[in-house]
């Protein structure tokens, strides 16, 4: 720092430029080592957990059986088609699981695909009208495992 004749002190323009250049070099070095994959994997894993929990709650509230399908292509929630045209729908449905459950937040089908590079295992089960799963199981998403309890359907 230079001391001005009037007694004021401060940084010269050259000193400020050197500091800005050094900060730029440091930020490039830090962000080039940043790996976003663990965050993408954790985000997708939480998204799948939320979808499974929603499926169980929807089955209990609506009286519709809900199928949860998880695979390497992603996840999807479907309700049972009413093959006999009964009213109200679902309560007497005996058809295949083909109608996508609507996500109330987006208004589109409740489904999602994993981010690139995220590995996902396979799990398919159905929640009945009382929120009980047809079978429990586990599914791996990256290094994390999601477990669905066989009797209660609790997800952890």
Over residues 47-84, the pLDDT tens digits come to 999 999 999 999 998 888 899 999 999 999 998 776 65
> Structural domain boundaries of the chain?
2-32, 37-148
Kindly state the tokens that stand for 20: 């800005």
Distances (CA, A) of 81 to 99, 102, 113: 6, 14, 23
For the segment(s) 37-148, the CATH number from 3.55.40, 3.30.460, 2.120.10, 3.10.20 is: 3.55.40
The C-alpha R_g of the chain, in whole angstroms, comes to 27
Q: What is the pTM of this model?
A: 0.74
Handedness of CA 77, 136, 126, 128 (dihedral sign): negative
CB 123 within 8 A of CB 109: no
CB count in 10 Å sphere of residue 64:
23
Average pLDDT, the chain: 86
CA distance 55 to 101: 9
For residue range 136-151, list pLDDT tens digits in order.
899 999 999 999 999 9
């Amino acid at each position: 720092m230079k001391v001005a004749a009037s007694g004021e002190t401060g940084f010269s323009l050259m000193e400020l430029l050197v500091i800005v250049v050094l900060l730029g070099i440091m930020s490039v070095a830090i962000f080039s080592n940043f790996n976003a994959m663990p965050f993408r994997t954790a985000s997708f894993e939480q998204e799948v957990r939320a979808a499974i929990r929603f499926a169980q709650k929807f089955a209990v509230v609506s009286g519709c059986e809900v199928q949860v399908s998880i695979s390497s292509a992603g996840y999807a929630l479907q309700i049972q088609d009413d093959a006999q045209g009964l009213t109200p729908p679902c309560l007497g449905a005996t058809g295949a699981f083909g109608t996508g459950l609507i996500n109330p937040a987006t208004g589109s089908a409740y489904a999602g695909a994993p981010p690139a590079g995220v590995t996902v295992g396979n799990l398919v089960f159905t929640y009945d009208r009382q929120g009980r799963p047809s079978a429990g199981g586990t599914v791996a998403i990256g290094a994390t495992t999601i477990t669905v309890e066989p009797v209660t359907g609790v997800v952890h």
